A and B are shown apart, each in its own frame.
Chain A
Amino acid sequence: MSAATSSPTALKTPGSDSHSGPTLSLTLKIWRQKDTNSPGELKTYEVKGISTHMSFLEMLDVLNEQLVQKNEEPVAFDHDCREGICGMCGVMINGQAHGPDLTTTTCQLHMRKFRDHDTIVIEPWRAKAFPVIKDLVVDRSAFDRIITTGGYVSINVGSAPDGNAVPVPKENADQAFDAATCIGCGACVASCKNASASLFVSAKVSQLALLPQGEPERVRRVQRMVAQMDKEGFGGCTNTNECEAACPVGIKVENIARLNREFLRAKMITR
């Protein structure tokens, strides 16, 4: 039986169990912060009757229903597609970006990964470049600004040649695709001990460095993007590879080596 069923009947809340299977009682320690400039703190909440089939965010939904019920403000957290592709969700779960599963976003993490009576610490991404907006919500616009400085091919609509005009070796296209799958969630920054955005930047630089379409702006792109990355206040890369482990779509640190290569090459040939 869930905690929700003890609520007044007016509040129809999740968890009234049309499903079977074990349920969990959990202690949640969640970072609450009113706004960017207010101090925050970890607050403790109890949830009961959490189905192991729930996703992590659905568990937070249940908590929020309970909080509304008690006239408390619900926990703010970012999310949108809830199928692991939009990159909007992402919190630190027991000190791990997106929780314990590899190549899994927070929305795709399921409660079956947890045990009854577990305590779960939930914190926002922490980085100087990602200020907290509220509770678990952070401002990742630094990523957009980095893309703005070069994460594109300068091609106007109407001037594109035929799609098959320039063949691209399949291997390159595949590698470019692998890099291009970055969802921009920020887990790399969150998990890095230096809060470095190297993996994010390298994914875009790699994608475009591997394709002939990216060639004309190759030198300018990498220099501008790295300069913006530094300006935003991200740390540098110490090659701990923690970002690769935390990345929900499996972007490889191989891309960071390519970023370094592209950058050093650009520096050497720039007049």
Chain B
Amino acid sequence: MNGLKWLWTLIYGDSSIGRKARIAITGLLMCGFLVSHLAGNLLLFKGDDGESYNNYAKFLHSGEMEAVVAGAEVGLLVLFGVHLLLALVTTRENTAARPTGYAMKQSKQGDSMLAAPAYNVMLLTGVVVFAFLVLHLVDFRFRARGSSHEPAHVVEKVDAAHANKHQPITRTDAIRLLRDPLTSGVYLVGCLVLGYHLVHGFYSAFQTLGFNHPRYTPKLRLLSIVFAIVIGVGFAIFPVWAHFVTIPGDAPAAPPGATATTP
């Protein structure tokens, strides 16, 4: 066990500030991932019947990228793991710092604080995001969940894809999955909660890492909100949009307003 002590120290650190810095760094790195993920998702919108998106997916699954993606996956797993673990640890430490609570507690901050409530629910939103992430991985990474609401031939197709997990998911697969009302709802909520987590998280990470300047910090706080909206709403668009777009295999009796997708 002793041999791994250095690893534990590396993860856990030896101070409250060190732990917070680790949470901040892992958080910011994951923000970077979110940006690239969102950028990739935007290919869904390209009016080419999913060609770009599918090619992008295919590229990520190609032989030369396999190692990179695997590495990234492990990296992301570690980031998420450390982020969550330290969040739990610090929350426990923070709770222990006040064993007896107040009979009455009110904030002295006025309404000017845009992010006011977000910081009070960081652990909650974080755990919700975690649960959502597990579902998302089950659906998209491991493709371990089918949808019984789909037409039979589609289910077949999904099952076929399911049979080969290494096959990249296609735009059609993704949309079909997100059309399930329950899934759609969960994804919508998950994405918005993620955004809410970022309202405080993004700004807070900079403060934790020592960045605060009277000239830039107010702008950073605004940026944090903008970033949170872009990420949260950006991802949340897809489960909504999935209901309004036509994909191959859709019933011919498409709503009159729908754009024709078959030639």
Contacts and interface: CB of A to CB of B under 8 A. Distances in A.
> Does chain A touch chain B in the assembled complex, meaning CB atoms less than 8 Å apart?
yes
Given A126-B98, A227-B15, A263-B15, A238 B212 contact: no
Interface residue tally of chain B, by bracket? 35 or more
Contact of B97 (A127, A254, A257, A263): A127
B113 A254 contact: no
B20 interface: yes
A230 B15 contact: yes
Contacts of B208: 237, 239, 260
A43 B140 CA distance: 58
A95 B200 CA distance: 23
Given A94-B104, A191-B108, A257 B96 contact: no
Contacts of A254: 212-214, 217
| SS class, residues of chain A in contact with chain B | mixed
Interface of A: 29, 31, 42, 92, 94-97, 100, 102, 121, 123, 126-129, 191, 193-196, 226-227, 229-230, 233-242, 245-246, 253-254, 256-265, 267
A253 B210 CA distance: 11
Contact of B106 (A31, A95, A239, A257): A95
Interface of B: 15-21, 90, 93-110, 113, 119-120, 122, 200, 203-204, 207-214, 217
11 contacts: A126-B102, A128-B97, A128-B98, A194-B95, A195-B94, A236-B94, A237-B16, A242-B109, A257-B207, A263-B18, A264-B209
Contacts of A97: 108
Contacts of A226: 15-17
B108 A235 contact: no
A239 B213 CA distance: 15
Contacts of A129: 97
A123 B109 CA distance: 20
Nearest to A233: B97
Nearest to A41: B103
Contact of A256 (B120, B207, B214): B207
